[in-house]
Structure 1
Amino acid sequence: MPTRARGRRLRSVLSATVLTAAALGGLLQPAQAAGDPGPSGGHPHQDRKLQQQLDRLVAQEDGPPGVIALLTRGDRTQVYTAGVGDIETGRPPHPDDHMRIASIAKAFSGAVALRLVDQGRLSLDDTIGERLPAQPEAWHAVTLRQLLQHTSGLPDYSAAPDFLEILTADPRHLFDPRRLLGFVADKPLLFTPGSLYEYSNSDNIAVALMAEAVTGARYEDLLRDLVYRPLGLRRTSLPLGYRLPRPYLHGYNVTPPAAPEDVSEAVGASGVWASGGIVSTPRELGAFIRAYGGPELLSEETREQQLTFRPGDSSEPAGPGTNAAGLAIFQYTTRCGVLYGHTGNFPGYTQLAATTPDGTRSLTFSINTQTNKANKPALLARLRTVQENFACALLKEK
């Protein structure tokens, strides 16, 4: 495709879905299942029905070129893949491929904030006015708890016309992430804090800024010291640019009848930062969610607050089963039991990471195209069905 036409199509995708609150979530090789090649050891017994569901997902006309799902029980991991992680080479997805985790980055900002709560450096009742007094006075009563649970009423900067104008003109534009809220600084709150739920990228930007304010440290360093190092995450990072570490799961814009377009490095991460900019791998994402959704990372008292859920409020896109919103974590009540986790979507990627409440089992489910309720509702419905079936497999006693 000529460069100009490719640019027009990408800008169209961006303006329609990229960083609004709804987004920020014949070329294929034969599908396959793969045992986990990593240090946790493979599990030779794949579930044929689960594999067939992945095969059908990538066979859809508007489906992802590839998918990878990791089912971890204790020290054993089953890896399922279908399709490809790179159309050009035909290489299948791999558990150690880097990928954009999209809004699951919000759970990481939750982990930073809640660990600071455990340390007594932040309180869930701290307000924007107390910690970020330079932010608009109209926002000053909003608390950290409300930011983490998306009940703040903050207007979403990623839907602001000025922000979208810059992004669509230059998808790789380098934003100053600490000034992103400036795009809506002249806007009032959308509702009285605590009264309603509205998923907003602004919330987790404010969370990161509050963490910086009370520690005097950069958010990137707080992630390293409070999350990555304690959990042994060596392939997880928060870049500001558009490049991905190698090897990576390639992400595609799939808009039939056009051929899939590689958008892995089409968009810079600075415009989403703490709300969606983290890069990780399927394996490390599983390790994170088991710790964050389980009892490992937080005190019992803080975890009780984290897991106080608002029924019916969902992550974006919605996860499997019935959703409810906690503090930077969601409850997914499936027909087979309950998981805690987070989802996300971004150009080229749609993600789910979920764990059992005891933190001993996890599911990560990654596809390399973007789907949400706005751009591909039918694909999302199929995806959620398959995810719930994988969740049921995870929850079975084995």
Structure 2
Amino acid sequence: MLVPRSPQRRLPLVALLAAAACITGLVQAPAQAADTPADDNRSGSLRRQLQELTTAPGGPPGAIAVLKRGSRTEVYRAGVAKIGADRPIKATDHMRIASTAKAYSGAVALTLVDRRKLRLNDTIGKVLPRLPRAWHRVTLRQLLQHTSGLPDFSMDPEFLELVTEDPRRHFDSRRLLDFVAGEPLAFRPGSRYTYSNSDNIAVALMAEAVTDRPYEDLLAELVYRPLGLRSTSLPQGYRMPKPYMHGYDVTPPNPPEDLSEVLSASGVWASGGIISTPKDMTAFIRGYAGGKLISDRTHHQQRNWVNGASEPAGPGTNKAGLAIFRYATRCGVVYGHTGNFPGYTQLIAATPDGKRSLTVSLTTQVNKKNKPKLLERLRTVEENFVCALLRKP
């Protein structure tokens, strides 16, 4: 998505619209730093790696990582919550969670599967017959795994033009798929993986259709309350609740530009509009990856993997499940999701039992289109944090 800085300048967006749109080595290589045997040395190395991200060309003004093993929490931070202020980022600061919100829509849908309100093989034609007939054979399972073939509304020229004209425009979130209603499927459903923001809009609409309740209410009942998420919401506007970490466009040689309240969340909705905090996201991924919200049977279905990476790619080798990704690193496997949005980049991950977790948040957007070299460096740092998470006590 493109957002104007001035009539002549356009600024790339991200997970809201699925697309947006280097770095030099500093001090010591992150991969080596994570292998330091002593705990104090390891912690110092992880802090240095975050700091090096904030001082790299195009890097974020601030970064925070929350690493939790059982009841023990370690918080690593670098930079500041706002340029021009000395306050560091806190785990209770609000932020836009970008496409990690897709895991929350997955949590809603899979809970409804457990409650027999939905089935994974239910089709768009059965649940949402008003949507284009060409899409009717797409199943909930395929939507959750990004194998649906639905055209991505966030790449539609008319949608992009409207956002560019007025980034704070209020969209009818439940009509976002209208932008691509005249388009056929991109491929036969189930035949391949392609990440699409349209998928999770359709998932939320299916949840609403079978419950006759707003998606926001379903989030509160099925996700926020069971997991104790007290600082998580899905707004329609552009305002951020305080306190919040400011998100920036960092495109040297231009000075950083604050994007925190530039965009309306109504244009992303279930595909990336949630606002939360590192503390709440830690609680979410521990419950979600650990199967706290759904039955073992549904949890097993969720973990049928296909080749496919989250956006941006997470650490290690990525595979896609149902609204969750498998990250196989050199130190072991974690499950989670990533996201990027103008001003923010996110990773949430946890061990399969949910007892160990990692949340990493940056205050600038990093993806393969706008900052490919920085993304590779970030993925290395994330993998080093995963290794620290999985080490023996």
TM-score > 0.5 by shorter chain:
yes
Counterpart selection for 2:350 from 346, 355, 379: 355
Correspondence 1:4-43 to 2 at 5 A: 6-8=5-7, 12-14=10-12, 17=14, 19-23=16-20
CA–CA separation in structure 2 for the residues paired with 1:17 and 1:343 = 12
CA–CA separation in structure 2 for the residues paired with 1:388 and 1:188 = 38
Deviations 1:81-126 (A, max 9, x none): 0011111322111000000000000000000000000001000000
Residue of structure 1 in register with 2:168 after alignment: 172
Q: Could you list the runs of 5+ residues in structure 2 that have no partner in the other structure?
A: 22-38
CA–CA separation in structure 1 for the residues paired with 2:369 and 2:296 = 38
Correspondence 1:98-109 to 2 at 5 A: 98-109=94-105
Structure 1 contact 46–78 (Cα < 8 Å) conserved: no
Residue of structure 1 in register with 2:291 after alignment: 295
Correspondence 1:1-398 to 2 at 5 A: 6-8=5-7, 12-14=10-12, 17=14, 19-23=16-20, 47-311=43-307, 313-398=308-393
1:143–1:99 distance in 2 versus 1, CA, 3 Å = same
Structure 1 contact 22–317 (Cα < 8 Å) conserved: no
> What's the offset of the Cα at 1:20?
3.3
1:99–1:129 distance in 2 versus 1, CA, 3 Å = same
Q: Could you list the runs of 5+ residues in structure 1 that have no partner in the other structure?
A: 25-42
CA–CA separation in structure 2 for the residues paired with 1:68 and 1:219 = 30
CA–CA separation in structure 2 for the residues paired with 1:355 and 1:23 = 27
> What's the offset of the Cα at 1:7?
3.2
1:8–1:90 distance in 2 versus 1, CA, 3 Å = farther
Structure 2 contact 232–280 (Cα < 8 Å) conserved: yes
CA–CA separation in structure 1 for the residues paired with 2:107 and 2:6 = 37
1:127–1:18 distance in 2 versus 1, CA, 3 Å = closer
Deviations 1:37-63 (A, max 9, x none): xxxxxx999711111111111111211
1:191–1:6 distance in 2 versus 1, CA, 3 Å = closer
Normalising by structure 2, what TM-score?
Answer: 0.93
CA–CA separation in structure 1 for the residues paired with 2:370 and 2:58 = 11
> What's the offset of the Cα at 1:185?
0.3
Structure 1 contact 237–279 (Cα < 8 Å) conserved: yes
Percent identity over the alignment is 65
> What's the offset of the Cα at 1:327?
0.2
CA–CA separation in structure 2 for the residues paired with 1:109 and 1:369 = 24
Deviations 1:239-280 (A, max 9, x none): 010001000010000011111111000011000000000000
Structure 1 contact 355–363 (Cα < 8 Å) conserved: yes
CA–CA separation in structure 2 for the residues paired with 1:22 and 1:353 = 20
Normalising by structure 1, what TM-score?
Answer: 0.91
Q: How many residues align?
A: 374
Aligned residue for 2:221, secondary structure, equals: helix
Aligned residue for 2:76, secondary structure, equals: strand
| Greater shift in the superposed pair: 179-188 or 54-63 | 54-63
Q: Which amino acid aligns with 1:139?
A: W
Deviations 1:310-331 (A, max 9, x none): 13x1000000000000000000
CA–CA separation in structure 1 for the residues paired with 2:291 and 2:179 = 37
Structure 1 contact 17–374 (Cα < 8 Å) conserved: no
